Amino acid sequence: AQSVTQPDIHITVSEGASLELRCNYSYGATPYLFWYVQSPGQGLQLLLKYFSGDTLVQGIKGFEAEFKRSQSSFNLRKPSVHWSDAAEYFCAVGDSNDYKLSFGAGTTVTVRA
Amino acid sequence: DTEVTQTPKHLVMGMTNKKSLKCEQHMGHRAMYWYKQKAKKPPELMFVYSYEKLSINESVPSRFSPECPNSSLLNLHLHALQPEDSALYLCASSQDQTVGRETQYFGPGTRLLVL
């Protein structure tokens, strides 16, 4: 079964600074990878996903993620954060042999003025 | 349109009450999901419906009873809940149940408090 690790529980970043959120997965074959964002009291919104092809994926709200097979990673980046990016971010992996979507524990992002 | 709607937004209920949560999607998706999410934790899968039939029950207590009246609608009936059932209940849908390839779209959730 696959597993997902988000090493950073909490990240604080200044508005306008860059942001990188780490995600590592454990899975034998090529995984299906997702990043979701959850604002306080809200549901999960899909930021981007990777299935195959170009390893640099562009998403909504100015986010991008890069799939690195050699490092089993799918890190999320944003060049310049806005106060509205303060939220919980979840990395998730899907497996064609398993009905479950496996979520990481999440990273809380705080944006300071 | 990738919208999943859920009602109500908030629900407070006593341990002897019966209530229902409702979820609706009009994207033509054939798989629908119920998740439970505690604060600062990732969502935990509860049930999966595929083509209006219950396909997965993640060993959820019988006080939670799902129902899929049609392909657009998913209900979660609640009865005799415990305070530890207080959580955010999320509904999601995807084109099909093959999770690996399918993107799940989530609703805004129902915040449930059991007193």
Q: Which residue has the higher pLDDT, B109 or A29?
A: B109
Write down the pLDDT at residue A27. Answer: 76
Question: To the nearest whole angstrom, how far is the Cα of A41 from the nearest Cα of chain B?
Answer: 8
Cβ–Cβ gap A44/B97 under 8 Å: no
Which of B42, B103, B107 is nearest residue A43 as measured by Cβ atoms? B107
Chain B positions touching A53 (Cβ under 8 A) are none
Write down the pLDDT at residue B46. Answer: 97
Tell me: pLDDT of B30 over 90. yes
Chain A and chain B share a number of CB contacts under 8 A equal to 63
Q: Which two tokens stand for residue B67?
A: 């129902």
Residue of B nearest to A49 (CA): B103
Write down the pLDDT at residue B100. Answer: 73
Write down the pLDDT at residue A95. Answer: 80
Tell me: pLDDT of B111 over 90. yes
Write down the pLDDT at residue A42. Answer: 87
DSSP structure string for B45-108: EEEEEETTEEEEE-S--TTEEEEEEETTEEEEEEES--GGG-EEEEEEEESSS-TTTPPPEE--
Mean pLDDT within B20-42:
95
Question: To the nearest whole angstrom, how far is the Cα of A48 from the nearest Cα of chain B?
Answer: 10
Question: To the nearest whole angstrom, how far is the Cα of A7 from the nearest Cα of chain B?
Answer: 14
User: What is the rounded CA–CA span in Å between residue B2 and residue A101?
Assistant: 19
Chain A positions touching B97 (Cβ under 8 A) are 99
Chain B positions touching A100 (Cβ under 8 A) are 45, 99
Write down the pLDDT at residue A33. Answer: 93
Write down the pLDDT at residue A99. Answer: 74
Which of B4, B41, B99 is nearest residue A99 as measured by Cβ atoms? B99
Kindly report the average pLDDT of chain A as a whole number: 92
Write down the pLDDT at residue B1. Answer: 59
List, as ranges, residues 82-111 from B with C-beta within 8 Å of A: 88, 90, 92, 97-109, 111
Tell me: pLDDT of B86 over 90. yes
Mean pLDDT check: name the lowest of A92-96, B9-13, B17-21, B50-54.
A92-96
Question: Is residue A50 very low, low, confident or very high in pLDDT (cuts 50, 70, 90)?
Answer: very high
Write down the pLDDT at residue B88. Answer: 97
DSSP structure string for A10-76: EEEEETTS-EEE--EEE-SSPPEEEEEEE-TT--EEEEEEE-SS-SEEE-GGG-EEEEEGGGTEEEE
Residue of A nearest to B41 (CA): A105
Tell me: pLDDT of A15 over 70. yes
Write down the pLDDT at residue B96. Answer: 84
